[in-house]
Amino acid sequence: MIRLQGIAVSPGVAIGKASVFNSEGHQITVSHCSSEKAAGEVSRLRDAVQAAMQDISESRDSVAQSMGKQYGAIFEGHLVMLQDQKLYETMENAVMKDHFTAEYAVYKTLHGYAQVFQSIQDAFMAERANDILDLEKRILRILLKEKRQLQQFTEPVVVFARNLTPSETASMDTKFVQAFATELGGPTSHTAIVAEALRIPAVVGVGNFLERVNAGEVVIVDGDAGVVILNPDQATLNRYCLIEMQKKSLDVRLESLRDLPALTIDGTPVQLLGNIEFPQEADSCMESGAEGIGLYRTEFLYLSGSIPDEEDHFHAYRQVIEAMKGKPVTIRTVDLGADKLIERPVSMRNTKKTDLGYYIEEEKNPCLGLRSIRLSLKRIELFRKQLRAILRAGVFGPVKVMFPLVSTISEWRQAHMIVEDVKEDLSERGIPYASDVDLGIMVEVPSVVLMIEHFAKEVDFFSIGTNDLTQYTLAVDRTNKDVFYLYNSCDPVILKLLSMTIHAATQHRRPVSLCGQMSGSPWCTMLLLGLGLRTLSVSPGAIPEIKRVCRRVNLAQCKAVAARALQMEKASEVRNYLLSEYRKLFPDLDVEVS
Ligand code: PEP
Ligand code: MG
């Protein structure tokens, strides 16, 4: 048995068989496709070959530029081989006639050619064989990266991978993927957030472990404690079965809170809203008793790699607004960039840098680059399209619009002006829309907190995004496991920023909520209420637990907790203190937090 510690990012426990996805070492087995799918496979093959040619030409040019033309010529040979029509036809025939998948057609053809060269006892030929194997690897890497076969399971599995992109996570078939664990990744990366949205238990940042796993062996992923266990012994299996049973009984108890208000003992109402990624999650919000949606992340519309049109936006928003049956929905305009990258589909790799994703993909320092509201303000037509859709969908129920990653007041004013302009445009064209829509900003950058008094005079509401506020204040990449020890939303400096924001918002009578992952941690609830928050937006699955805390505390107690935490110097001190206060509230609870 091997026990590994990682970072817990999506709660729940799964016991199942390991399926390992190593970025390079995919096992290729003979695999066929049906005759109806052959045309699709040929187009995948063609795109992958083109993408490989594009990669090779880029490598050639950059090597030629940095080291000289003769070095670039090394790649020229690869390019010539790949341009060989006969070689391509052999691969295409393997798909069209023998109905092999694109991957197997590439493997069979190129491996076959390489073997022929290897069989000729000649150093020059041996070199050519290596070149062919290199090409094979390159094309397979493109094909397998494109699919990574995360949707193709036929039985329950626990996925282990070096890393998973948000779009790979979003495409997982939740019928079969019981849990996942990755070597890389940080606590509030978009991948982690998507896992929580899909309710897949997940652990990230485990460090190198894939080589120690035997595919198919029994493993445990504990998304509450951030633990991965390989080949567990019987005693451990029994313990985890017991934990699963206890969890189920707690869920039943929490379920009974569903229709009760989130009211503190002294009668202070707390508004609990849901954070969602996908339109279908609106139903989970209703089921868990959310009073509305405090954060509707809209990046999912871009996950396929293509740019959504106005109707795609509109249908997604209308679906959520209608599902919420009159409860308010706060739609955040796209927050693309940094950990919310969109990948360029293989079929578009060799097109010019003309569109949204490409700007982001080529960023040198994406967290500080052209992302979020900055991108919307640069690509105004795309921004207007999204705003038009939100305002039109607002006819079907109450909506608010929220701008992500605002860092200056001018950005906010510009975004505000564009909304007004879009309204005018809709009026002129006689298109029905919601004219009375509140506009707010995310508080995610320290510069906004320092200028909060100015913002408070103009914006309709604030929502604090502690995931990014922590990243930008402490200069810690939220996706990087190696600096995870520095990333803590309970750091006293973050508490000071929260306090300043809440104070200014309250003074100016502007609603303020918190929608970062911190608001979903029940052991932070007392602190947040004590700091003055009365609205928390959390993933729908966390609502019952947060409600349970609200109903167990009184405000004076919360204020005392916040006052004491604000005096502390270190994040670890605050965290330990909050955990101990939480344990006092629920002494029967086995609180294990990674
Ligand atoms: C945040 O930064 O806290 C937030 C809620 O936004 P996201 O996690 O989507 O960046
Ligand atoms: Mg954010």
510 or 77, greater pLDDT: 510
Lookup: tokens for 23: 């970025």
Mean pLDDT across the stretch 393-419? 98
Asked if residue 72 has pLDDT above 80, the reply is no
CB of 297 closer than 6 angstroms to any ligand 1 atom: yes
Q: What is the DSSP letter of 490?
A: T
Question: Quick one: which atom of ligand 1 is closest to the CA of 275?
Answer: 5
**Least reliable range by pLDDT among 207-211, 325-329, 335-339:** 335-339
Contact indicator for 143, 106 with CB cutoff of 8 Å: yes
Q: How far is the CA of 467 from the centre of ligand 1 (A)?
A: 5
What distance in Å separates the CA atoms of residue 123 and residue 3, rounded to the nearest whole number?
Answer: 48
Question: Quick one: which atom of ligand 1 is closest to the CA of 465?
Answer: 3
Question: Quick one: which atom of ligand 1 is closest to the CA of 297?
Answer: 9
CB of 468 closer than 6 angstroms to any ligand 1 atom: yes
What is the 3 state secondary structure string of 386-428? HHHHHHHHHHHCCEEEEECCCCCHHHHHHHHHHHHHHHHHHHH
Give yes or no: 78 in active site: no
**Least reliable range by pLDDT among 127-136, 151-160, 266-275:** 127-136
Q: How far is the CA of 165 from the centre of ligand 1 (A)?
A: 16
Q: How far is the CA of 499 from the centre of ligand 2 (A)?
A: 19
229 or 351, greater pLDDT: 229
Give yes or no: 315 in active site: no
Asked if residue 348 has pLDDT above 50, the reply is no
Give pLDDT tens digits for 202-237.
999 999 998 788 778 899 999 989 999 999 999 999
Neighbours of 524 (CB within 10 A): 27
**SS3 of 204, please?**
strand
Q: How many CA atoms lie less than 13 Å away from 520 in the CB half-sphere? A: 29
CB of 513 closer than 6 angstroms to any ligand 1 atom: no
Catalytic residue among 515, 524, 550, 558: 515
Beta strands in 466-571 (DSSP E): 512-514, 535-538
Q: How far is the CA of 472 from the centre of ligand 1 (A)?
A: 12
Q: How far is the CA of 515 from the centre of ligand 1 (A)?
A: 7
**SS3 of 352, please?**
coil
Residue 594, pLDDT score: 43
Residue with tokens 């919360």: 558
Mean pLDDT across the stretch 406-432? 98
Question: Quick one: which atom of ligand 1 is closest to the CA of 188?
Answer: 8
CB of 515 closer than 6 angstroms to any ligand 1 atom: yes
CA distances (Å), 209 to each of 45, 149, 160, 372, in order? Answer: 32, 21, 9, 34
Nearest CA to ligand 1 atom 3: 465
Question: Quick one: which atom of ligand 1 is closest to the CA of 193?
Answer: 8
Catalytic residue among 33, 190, 285, 558: 190
CB of 467 closer than 6 angstroms to any ligand 1 atom: yes
Residues in the chain: 594
Nearest CA to ligand 1 atom 6: 465
What is the best residue among 196, 444, 535, 537 to mutate for testing ligand 1's pocket, by most ligand atoms within 8 Å of CB? 444
Mean pLDDT across the stretch 379-403? 97
* Phi and psi, residue 31, nearest 5°: -140, 135
Residue 383, pLDDT score: 96
Beta strands in 205-292 (DSSP E): 218-222, 227-230, 271-276
What is the best residue among 332, 467, 512, 538 to mutate for testing ligand 1's pocket, by most ligand atoms within 8 Å of CB? 467
**Least reliable range by pLDDT among 67-76, 179-188, 256-265:** 67-76
* Phi and psi, residue 49, nearest 5°: -65, -40
**Sheet with 13-21, edge to edge strand ranges:** 2-5, 227-230, 218-222, 13-21, 157-161, 177-182, 202-204, 7-10
Give pLDDT tens digits for 291-304.
999 999 998 888 76
Give pLDDT tens digits for 89-119.
999 999 999 999 898 899 889 878 887 887 8
Question: Quick one: which atom of ligand 1 is closest to the CA of 444?
Answer: 2
Mean pLDDT score of the chain, rounded to an integer? 88
Helices (H) and strands (E) in the chain, counts: 22, 16
**SS3 of 442, please?**
strand
Asked if residue 476 has pLDDT above 60, the reply is yes
| Ligand at shortest distance from the CA of 187 | 1
Residue 121, pLDDT score: 73
| Ligand at shortest distance from the CA of 166 | 1
CB of 465 closer than 6 angstroms to any ligand 1 atom: yes
CB of 335 closer than 6 angstroms to any ligand 1 atom: yes
CB of 470 closer than 6 angstroms to any ligand 1 atom: no
